[in-house]
Amino acid sequence: MNRAPGGMRIFYIAHFDCAGAGGHAAHVRGCLDELARQGHEVWLFASGRKRRAESGVRFIPIPQIRRPGLYTVSFGLLCWLPFLWTVIRRRPRVAYSRFFYPMPPLALLARLLRVPLVVEVNADLAHERRVHRHSPRRQSFENGLEGWIYRRAEGIVVVAPAIADSIRARFGDLSGKIVTIPNGVDTILFHPQDAAECRRRLGLATEGHYVTFAGAFQRWQGLRTLVQAAEYVLRFVPNTVFLLAGDGPERESIETSIAQLGLQRHFVLAGWRTPQESSDYIGASDVCVAPYGSLAASSASQDKETMPLMSRSPMKNLSYLACGRPVITSSFREAGGFVQSIDAGLSVPPEDAAALGSAIVTLLQDPARARRMGRNGRRAVEERFSWAEIIRQIVVYLDRIAPRRGTSGQRDAAVS
């Protein structure tokens, strides 16, 4: 694998199968492919994913025990030896790891080998522990472990402002290690398409209206609110079909809610789709929705006079916008506040089915406005959230964390 002049060798560690479905795997693939495209030599330590010859990413497989409670623990225990061996053979400029709790052996090894370690954090972990109702003792232990990892990292990249605020509130300023760099989106894979053509490819009727949700069926995604809103929408636009491209622990509950309301013929539950198929489901739609519920709100940095922050980055909205579709989403600063600020969609209160239904009807009945919003969203994503731009920011930060040998570097968390 050849590294471009000025490129760096990066060891990227992810404790899950990066070929899988879901936003976490899409985020890693976007980072890896763009780093390689920009001429960096990337080594991925993960399970499952097979190296694609064209990607320019070297894959180091890490075995995992695929059983509840052992999946990430086994990764943490089994990663250190391949990491040690590869560092000896191919010393990296920096190691970049997605946060996972059983990573202390890796953090200690990186420090021992004098390999700068940067940790990426994709959610407000204190908030996540409360949402998942961990016991007070477990929360205390995990909070202590989280701080231990941060203090031994050279840098911390977070994808949303609330995550940075939560870390600082619990662990102090950490000597300026933290930088906020948002999620990105593949603007080549996710791009504006003709709706009728997408519908034909998916075997859908080309006439009528379609509303798409693409993502995990989790409690904080607000899918129950969407099902309730469908009743309102169908009173005004009866030829509407709701496309749910995804899966997760809430699927059975959502299916039950749809059946209780007698709406089965107005919903398509497509299950997990490939990224290309997800792009087609978005392309088939007139409107896309991300009706995040109150559980998506971070407990950090909430101001009653302004929109609250989310505990994570609303990645699906970027995919919708990249496909040139208007977005109706909940009134968090990174979601509804953002799409309204660029005139690319509408903001509705979380868990308000009537408001969500009314917003959907508004855009379905005003296709010219919907198309204008779609164009605005695509333009904003191309300018600010393409993977090329996000990786540029990450590389600037890594250059400051791990300056080239023979140069002096001063850490500065600001990204220009």
Report the side by side order of strands in the sheet with 345-348.
267-269, 240-245, 209-214, 287-290, 327-330, 345-348
Mean pLDDT of 346-361: 97
Give tens-digit pLDDT for 175-208: 789 999 999 999 999 999 999 999 999 999 999 9
Answer yes or no: are the C-beta atoms of 19 and 25 closer than 8 Å. yes
Supply the pLDDT for residue 409. Answer: 38
Question: What average pLDDT does the chain have?
Answer: 90
User: How many Cβ atoms sit within 10 Å of the Cβ of residue 62?
Assistant: 23
Top-confidence residue, 351 or 70: 351
- Contact of 182 with 390, CB cutoff 8 Å: yes
pLDDT for residue 403: 76
- Supply the angle between the helices 136-152 and 161-171 in degrees, to the nearest 10: 100
Asked whether 223 and 213 are in contact (CB, 8 A), the reply is yes
Both tokens of 317, joined, read 């909205």
137-139-142-148 Cα dihedral, nearest 10 degrees: -90
Mean pLDDT computed over 236-260: 96
Mean pLDDT is lowest, of 9-18, 61-70, 172-181, for 61-70
pLDDT greater than 70 at residue 406: no
Residue 416's pLDDT band (cuts 50, 70, 90): very low
pLDDT for res 140 = 93
Q: What local confidence, expressed as pLDDT, does residue 412 receive?
A: 36
Residue 179, H or E segment = strand 178-180
| 8, 398 Cβ separation under 8 angstroms | yes
Nearest to 225 by CA among 318, 358, 316, 107: 358
> Residue 54: pLDDT band by 50, 70, 90 thresholds?
very low
For residue 305, count CB atoms less than 10 angstroms from its CB and return exposed for 0-12, middle for 13-18, buried for 19 or more: exposed
Tens of pLDDT, residues 271-317: 999 889 999 999 999 999 999 999 888 876 555 456 788 888 888 99
Q: How confident is the model at residue 352 (pLDDT cuts 50, 70, 90)?
A: very high
The pLDDT confidence band at residue 72, using thresholds 50, 70 and 90, is: confident
Q: Give the residue, 70 or 326, on which the prediction is more confident.
A: 326
**CATH 1.25.40.80 is held by the domain 9-184+386-401:** no
Nearest of 393, 387, 399, 384 to residue 416 by alpha carbon: 393
What mean pLDDT is predicted for residues 337-359? 97
The backbone torsions φ and ψ at residue 95, rounded to the nearest 5 degrees and listed phi first, read -110, 135
* pLDDT of 53 over the 50 cut: no
Q: Is the pLDDT score of 370 beyond 80? A: yes
- Rounded CA-CA distance 314/329 in Å is 10
At 404 the pLDDT is 66
pLDDT at residue 415 tops 90: no
**Does pLDDT of 379 surpass 70?**
yes
pTM, rounded to two decimals: 0.87
List all residues 6 or more positions away from 27 whose beta carbon is below 8 Å from its beta carbon: 122, 183, 184, 315
In this prediction, residue 306 carries a pLDDT of 67
pLDDT of 173 reads 78
Q: Identify the band that residue 2 occupies on the pLDDT scale cut at 50, 70 and 90.
A: low
Query: According to the model, what pLDDT value does residue 174 have?
Result: 87
Where do the CATH 3.40.50.2000 domains begin and end in the chain?
9-184+386-401, 195-384
Cα gap 316→290, rounded to integer Å: 8
Q: pLDDT tens, 112-156?
A: 999 999 999 998 998 888 888 889 999 999 999 999 999 999 999
Residue with token string 């694998």: 1
What are 18-47's pLDDT values in tens digits? 877 677 888 898 899 999 999 999 999 998
Domain spanning 195-384, CATH architecture: 3-Layer(aba) Sandwich (3.40)
What is the C-alpha separation between 225 and 293, in angstroms, rounded? 8
Instruction: Give residue-wise pLDDT tens across range 80-97.
Output: 999 999 999 999 999 999
